[in-house]
Every structure is written in structure tokens, then in C-alpha cells.
Amino acid sequence: MANPPVPDLEFSQKYDEAHAKYYFDKHENEFWRKLSNWRDHQIARKALEIAGNPKSVLDAPCGTGRFWDALAEQPGRVIHASDYSQSMIDAGLKYRPAEISRRIQSSFQASAFSLPVADDFVECIFCIRFVHHLAKSEDRTTLLKEFHRVASDSVIISLWVDGNYKSWVRNRREKARDAHQYQNRLVIPARVIEREFADNGFRIEASLDFIKYYHMWRTYVLKKI
């Protein structure tokens, strides 16, 4: 069967060199971002442990390598990093401490929907803060199928889900807005994404909420069926 076309997303174009530096700085320097970065790291460590402390991980999209320190905490883990924006990868390699950057075995520019690597390339794909940009179910399906091909065992994936205070507030605000306006980020109902996981060959090992019943971020640990 022919492969589906690689989705071309409007938001993908904004991560140029200037934006990459801005993205790096905002998570390192602003107080609330630092706090949320700390909680994201706590969840990432837990998720990796639940996934079985994978020996090889592909961070996709890696952005500026926000999680390379957490990924590198396991000695001997092989870490690969990929992003649509070479500027984001370059900023990570340039600004992260050398002992962390050195742990990146390979980095490559690629669409997450079509990764230029062999089947079962790594044990685990680590995909943080990407899926909340995917409004179309067919794009999420393309992504999940590609992850199913490339990961031999597990996928760690975060997105915005409903069933919490923040999504309720956002939903009310969205209703007041022009329905045809381009949406850069969106909440995906938990029952919808969980159905899509199952339909694409994954079972949910765990789900970890940023702040249960309050925040929208949820990280799922998926295992291949």
C-alpha cells in the first residue's frame, strides 16, 4: 500500500535560528517555565522508568534538547535526536552542557511523520509537546504508524487532553472565537486519542498528568501490542 503523504504543518516553519534561541532561553530563565520544566522532567523520568528504562531512545522532535539531561541519566543509554528544524537541533548541541551534548549519538533533521531510519531503530520514541499541534486525526495516525515502525517496544508521548479545569476554560474561550481561525494548538479528547493509540497498535501502560484535574498536559507511556 502507498505511504500517506507527509503532513506539512504551518507551525513547523516558525522554528528558525532566532526562535530556537528564544525557545532555549524561555525554558531556562523564566521562573514559571523553570518550574514547569522541572515538573516535565519529573514526569519524563517516571515515564522512562515505566517504559522499562530503554537502552536506546529517539527524542523526536527534540527541539533544543530540553530532555537530553534526563535521557542521559541512564549510563550507556544510546540517545538519538531528531527535529524538523535544524536550527533547533543546532541550538541544543551548542547551548546544552558539553557532557550532555556528547551523549547524543546521532542527530538529524527530519519530519516526525517520515523518519529516515530502519524499522525498530530504537527501543523507545520520546515525543514531548508535539501532538497538541496535530488537529487532524489522519496526521496523528500517520505519526503513530511511523512511531510503531521505528520503536521496537515503547513510545512516550505528551499532549493536551480534556477532563480538567484548564481545558474547560480553553474550550469556553475557543467557542467565543471565530471557528475558522487557524488553531496552532488544541486539546484532543482523551477518549479520542486513546482510541487512536489502540487502532494503531499500542496499549497504554500508564498516563501521567502534569497536575491531575487541573492542567491539560498528559504524558502517555505506550507499549507496542
Ligand X SMILES: C[S@@+](CC[C@H](N)C(=O)[O-])C[C@H]1O[C@@H](n2cnc3c(N)ncnc32)[C@H](O)[C@@H]1O
Binding site for ligand X (CB under 6 A): 9, 12, 15, 61-63, 66, 83-85, 88, 111-113, 128-130
Residue 193 or 225: the one with the smaller Cβ distance to ligand X is: 193
The CB-of-88 to ligand X minimum distance in angstroms stands at: 4
Q: Give the closest residue to 103 by CA, choosing from 125, 70, 126.
A: 70
**Contact (Cβ atoms closer than 8 angstroms) between residue 127 and residue 72:** no
Pairing of strands 78-83, 104-109: parallel
Of the pair 112, 188, the CB lying nearest ligand X is at: 112
CB of 199 vs ligand X, minimal distance in Å: 21
Peptide bond into 116 cis (omega under 30): no
Q: How far is the CB of 53 from ligand X (least distance, A)?
A: 20
196 — phi, psi (to 5°)? -65, -40
- Closest approach, Cβ 176 to ligand X, in A, equals 25
Query: How many angstroms separate the CA atoms of 40 and 219, rounded?
Result: 9
63: left (phi > 0), else alpha (psi -120 to 50), else beta? Answer: left
Q: Based on CB atoms, which residue is closest to ligand X, 63 or 77?
A: 63
108 in helix, strand or coil? strand
Kindly tell me which of 113 and 197 has the beta carbon lying closer to ligand X.
Answer: 113
Q: Give the residue closest to ligand X by C-beta.
A: 63
Question: Are 143 and 165 within 8 A, CB to CB?
Answer: no
Of residues 54 and 63, the one with the C-beta less far from ligand X? 63
Least distance in Å: CB of 133 to ligand X? 7
Side-chain-side CA neighbours of 152 within 13 Å: the count stands at: 12
